[in-house]
Amino acid sequence: MHYITRLNSNLIITYHPAVMKRELDIVVLSDVHLGTYGCHANELLNYLKSIKPGMLILNGDFIDMWQFRKRYFPKEHIQVIQQVLKMASRGVKVYYITGNHDDALRRYSDFSAGNILLRDKLILQLAGKTCWIFHGDIFDLFIRYSPYVSRLGGKGYDLLIWLNRSINKLRRAMGLPRMSFAKKVKYRVKEAIKFISDFEKTALQLAAEEDYDYVICGHIHRPIMRTEEVQGKKVTYLNSGDWVENLTALEYNWGRWSIYEYDETDYQYVNPRLFVKEVLEEDEDAVATRPSMEEVYLEIVSKPVSGKQASS
Ligand SMILES: [Mn+2]
């Protein structure tokens, strides 16, 4: 998705996404975790500024109230909130669905203010299909998981991400590729994998029992889209991922769902005035009349080449 228009062979303009917004029916985001070191607020801000959805669904853990510290809430995190409010004021319907890290809001569920609607879950009818949307932490009740996994949402995990970022800054300065600790810790552990698969299975199972066609969650920070047949019913499980590690969103447009993955190059803006025109190809006459090195030497030194032979 690059907004590139070729005006002529020498000039390429890359449009800033803010100028050309992508129109979408629905966008689902989850696990932004504003207020934590791990949150990629700048990237999310780029993404939000590049889209024009009819509906924006924040599917839980948008603001991390567990780790909410007054001393860590940087400018970019506030800008994300401002951008969402701006979108709401421009007519985008914003559903704020509560998660376990913003469960303090659950006591206000079903509160609405203009285009901003606070909910614990959302059911949508899309093209004759029923979509069941909620954060997914309720499955923690069903799935017994190891202390390793339960720690993933805690302070230690946030510290790990902070450490990971600091190390990556250093690695980048040394010209080394970035590495992800968090991903390693999370995915390399067998129990975590089992937890994820149990989570997905539970969601599919419950959705089939409740007669939903789609079940859309967040919580486990793993973007995916999978369709299974459960008890003779076709159910699709979707997960919007997160803005800590994966930088993903679910997009619904033209009657179908897709996973958007953030790509830095989509947001690079180069001022066309800064472009240097391509060097014109040398025409053969110019090459033929170009003086030899000896001639240039003579021009400068005015003495024949002696000793070392100048190469031509
Ligand atoms: Mn969660």
CATH of domain 4-143+210-267: 3.60.21.10
Asked if pLDDT for residue 144 goes beyond 70, the answer is no
CA of 135 to the centre of ligand 1 (A): 7
CA of 30 to the centre of ligand 1 (A): 8
Residues in Cβ contact with 221 at an 8 Å cutoff, skipping those fewer than 6 apart: 31, 152, 186, 241, 242, 244, 245, 246
Write down the pLDDT at residue 226: 96
CA of 221 to the centre of ligand 1 (A): 8
pTM of the model: 0.72
Write down the pLDDT at residue 10: 44
Coil, strand or helix at 113: strand
Residues in Cβ contact with 226 at an 8 Å cutoff, skipping those fewer than 6 apart: 200, 236, 237
CA of 102 to the centre of ligand 1 (A): 8
Write down the pLDDT at residue 13: 45
Coil, strand or helix at 115: coil
Residue-averaged pLDDT of the chain: 81
CB 59 within 8 A of CB 26: no
From the number of C-beta atoms within 10 Å of its C-beta (0-12, 13-18, 19+), residue 199 rates as: buried
CA of 60 to the centre of ligand 1 (A): 6
Dump pLDDT digits (tens) for 233-250: 999 999 999 999 999 999
Write down the pLDDT at residue 312: 44
CA of 24 to the centre of ligand 1 (A): 25
Least confident of 58-72, 75-89, 134-148, 167-181: 134-148
The fraction of the chain above a pLDDT of 70, given in percent, is 71
Asked if pLDDT for residue 266 goes beyond 90, the answer is no
CB 238 within 8 A of CB 215: yes
Residues in Cβ contact with 38 at an 8 Å cutoff, skipping those fewer than 6 apart: 157, 158, 161, 162, 182, 244, 245
Write down the pLDDT at residue 95: 97
CA of 68 to the centre of ligand 1 (A): 15
Mean pLDDT along residues 209-232: 95
CA of 103 to the centre of ligand 1 (A): 9
